[in-house]
Amino acid sequence: MQIKLKLNKFLLYALVLVLSGLAGYYFFAAFDRVPAKKESKIFYSVIEVIDGDTIKSEVNGKVENIRLIGIDTPEIAGPYREEGCFGQEASLKTKELLSGKKVSLVSDASVSDRDKYGRLLRYVFLPDGEFINAELVKGGYAFNYAYENFQYLNYFNDLEKQAKEGRLGLWGSGCDYYFETR
C-alpha cells in the first residue's frame, strides 16, 4: 500500500514537472514570436531614408542615423561598395514606407544601443502600429540579420522562411540569395 502511494506521488510530481516545463516552453516561445509592441508614444520625423535598413531622424534635438534592428538589406551602389541584387528595390520600399512619416523608435534591451558605426539601433513603427523591420523581412526586402541576438529573432526567422518559400523579393529568381545560408 505504501509503495503504491509513493509511486502515485512520484507520478503526480513527474506530471506536474513535465506540464510546468511545457507551459514554460510555450510561454517563452510564443513571447519570442509575437511582433514588438510600441513602447513609445513619442514620434519622430523621418528626415531621410539612407538605404533599405538605415534612416535619419531627429531625436532629442540631434539628427541621428537609425539602423533597423534585426534586418539587413542588400547594398545600394556607393563610392566604396557595389550594389547588391535587390538593393535598389529594398531602398525604394523603405522610402515608400517611411519618407516624410512620423515613426516611433523602440530600443531592445538585448542589443547594443548603437552599432560600430555609431548608429542608433531601433525597431521602427508607424503611428498605426505597423512594424517596419518585420514588414521588410516579410516582403522579401530584407534578410533576418542576427549581428547580435535580439528579442524577435525567431519571429524574423519565421518571416524570412515564409518569404523564401514564397520566393518573394530578394528570394526570387533574379538573385542568388535563395541558397545562401544567412
Q: Which residues form the catalytic set?
A: 67, 75, 119
Q: Is 120 helix (H, G, I), strand (E, B) or coil?
A: strand
Cβ contacts of 102 within 8 Å, gap of 6 or more: 43, 44, 45, 46, 126, 127
Q: Is 23 helix (H, G, I), strand (E, B) or coil?
A: helix
Cell of 116: 560600430
Q: What gap in Å lies between CA 49 and CA 69, rounded to an integer?
A: 15
β-partners of residue 81 are 78
Contact call for residues 111 and 46 (beta carbons, < 8 A): no
Cell of 164: 523564401
Neighbour tally for 90: CB within 10 Å: 28
